[in-house]
Amino acid sequence: METPAKIEGTAAPGRNNRAFEFLRDIPKQLLIAGKWAPAQAGGTFHTINPATEEVLTTVAEGDARDVDAAVKAAREAFENGPWSHITPHQRAKYLLKIAELVQKHADELAHVITLDNGKPISEARNEVARTAEVFIYYAGWTTKICGETNPSDPSLFNYTLREPLGVCGQIIPWNGPLSMVAWKVAPALACGNTVVLKPAEQTPLPALAFGKLTLEAGLPAGVVNIITGFGPTAGAAIARHRDIDKVAFTGSTSVGREILQAAASNLKRVSLELGGKSPNIIFDDANLELAVAGSAMGIFRNQGQVCCAGSRIFIQQKIYDEFAERLTQVASGITLGDPLQPGTTMGPLVSDEQYERVLGYLNVGQQEGACVRAGGERGPQSRGYFVAPTVFADVKSDMRIAREEIFGPVASLIPFRDETDAVLQANDTIYGLAAAVWTRNVNRALALARRLRAGTVWINCYGILDPISPFGGYKQSGFGRELGKDSIELYTQPKSVFIKFQK
Ligand code: NAI
Ligand code: MG
């Protein structure tokens, strides 16, 4: 059941009422076989605006039965539907059309992201732009997915085909509720697969808005199916389903482990993009101004709810105090508040659960003896899941705040002596998603790029993600790479064909 009154009640003069109409018109149901439908069991759940703690609206709560119906639709579309025999050129056109519709509705989509997730509207706009870019990038790939010819016996001809996997289950988190759709769906479709997508229960709306756009784009029925619902029910049903060929997951390391086990049911392909505790290393020869600005962005963007957030900031001893002082100033200058206001630079955390979790770590850090230089407490707002941007100094590598993923706006500043010490401390983690190095010494930069055990290394920058380049984890940050050419490999498999010449 929808509660449009709530949504309309949020609309106000000076706010973008067109966006509220767009939000009101998003179907709050499951998308299966090109049609919107309620959950078979009739369940619904609320999605909350984290800035106000008000119910935004109510969406269908899908479970295993709905996942099953979606898988059947996806299977039918893959085996028999128009999708099974269209040309790569036609697939490209669908992806480009989706990108065009995302761009056309950029403003409304950004509002939906901000209302559902809480990130500042400027960051939501950026997320929408990046989403379109990913679709455009993979539209280009559709016509470039090639096999090989291999030298063999002169009486034989061998070639390979790169074929889609089939039905792909995709389970995404709430921190990039639209960009995560793009990272998963765009390459899967480019390769000719069909999809059953489950958005996070905290942020179902951007994915549902996306579903509406796929219908507007004329995508054949069953190619993209969307099941809103909870992890242990709808999500787990995807992970264990025997007619899903691949599962792609982004989220916590503990759930990643469960998905891997469930996927063993039919040995489905698995790719996992999990947590991180990424080191951001500042040498004393770095351009300090740029390093401070980049490091602040690296830990405070999206309220720090970023898998590759630079949460462990290692600073060479000589500049430790100055860096700490400057980062503290930047943190104190952040505008925490209504994420729909254009001047806001930090919004609320996504949910009550995340809020409690991060506040818990603020206590842990103080109990462990770290020194609060900025923040360290909830925001001054009377409602909403606001946490002040926090800088902990005097952090030691063995403290929990330096080892566990907090997923909030919390920077831990740790001193180091030299290159060897920096690498040793940086790599001392179960994670390996990303790392950054700030230095003017090119030899050192290149040496560290090799020695840091992480899927992405940024030199004199932080957090750059671009569809041209693969992203994913070392160690317990997961496996499989998304974006770039690697994602094409993730969503296809080679088939070898031998032809014997007849005399
Ligand atoms: P989560 O891993 O529980 O949720 C991510 C997605 O997985 C959601 O769609 C959820 O419904 C689904 N899910 C949950 N349990 C499942 C199960 N048993 N089977 C299949 N799907 C399941 O993450 P959560 O609880 O939202 O956040 C907890 C922590 O995880 C965060 O504090 C953060 O440390 C980490 N996290 C990491 C993310 C990343 O980008 N790598 C994104 C979100 C969370
Ligand atoms: Mg969870």
The SS3 assignment for 37 reads: strand
The rounded distance, in Å, linking the Cα atoms of 454 and 341 is 36
- Rounded to 5°, the CA angle 395-400-406 comes to 100
What are the backbone dihedrals phi and psi of residue 495, each rounded to the nearest 5 degrees, phi first?
Answer: -125, 130
The rounded Cα 500 to chain-centroid distance in angstroms is 47
Q: Give the contacts of 298 (CB within 8 A, at least 6 positions apart).
A: 280, 309, 310, 436, 462, 463
Across all residues in the chain, what is the average pLDDT? 96
Ligand 1 mean position, distance from CA 251 (Å)? 4
Q: Check pLDDT > 50 for residue 87.
A: yes
Q: Domain-by-domain residue ranges, the chain?
A: 5-9+30-274+481-493, 279-466
Q: Is the pTM of this model over 0.75?
A: yes
**What's the mean pLDDT in 377-384?**
97
As for ligand 1, residues whose beta carbon falls within 6 Å of it are 171-173, 175, 198, 200-201, 230-232, 235-236, 239, 250-252, 255, 258-259, 273-275, 307, 354, 357, 405, 407
The DSSP code for 503 is -
- Which pair of structure tokens corresponds to residue 123? 């960051």
Fold of 5-9+30-274+481-493: Aldehyde Dehydrogenase; Chain A, domain 1 (3.40.605)
Confidence of residue 4 (pLDDT cuts 50, 70, 90): very low
Distances (CA, A) of 165 to 226, 244, 269: 19, 9, 9
Specify whether the CB–CB gap between 309 and 298 falls below 8 A: yes
Neighbours of 329 (CB within 10 A): 14
Q: Which CATH number fits domain 279-466: 3.20.20.450, 3.40.1260.10, 3.40.190.10, 3.40.309.10?
A: 3.40.309.10
Q: For the segment 474-498, what is each residue's pLDDT rounded down to a tens digit?
A: 999 999 999 999 999 999 999 999 9
Beta bridge partners of 32: 35
Confidence of residue 15 (pLDDT cuts 50, 70, 90): low
Mutate to test the pocket of ligand 1, among 202, 252, 305 (most ligand atoms within 8 A of CB): 252
Would you give the end-to-end CA distance of the chain in angstroms?
A: 70
Confidence of residue 364 (pLDDT cuts 50, 70, 90): very high
The rounded distance, in Å, linking the Cα atoms of 448 and 57 is 48
CA of 405, nearest ligand number: 1
Ligand 2 mean position, distance from CA 173 (Å)? 9
**What's the mean pLDDT in 11-39?**
86
Confidence of residue 156 (pLDDT cuts 50, 70, 90): very high
Q: Check pLDDT > 50 for residue 8.
A: no
Give the helix, strand, coil percentages of the chain, each rounded to 5.
45, 20, 35
pLDDT-wise least confident of 16-20, 362-366, 411-415, 422-426: 16-20
Q: Give the contacts of 257 (CB within 8 A, at least 6 positions apart).
A: none
Specify whether the CB–CB gap between 375 and 401 falls below 8 A: no
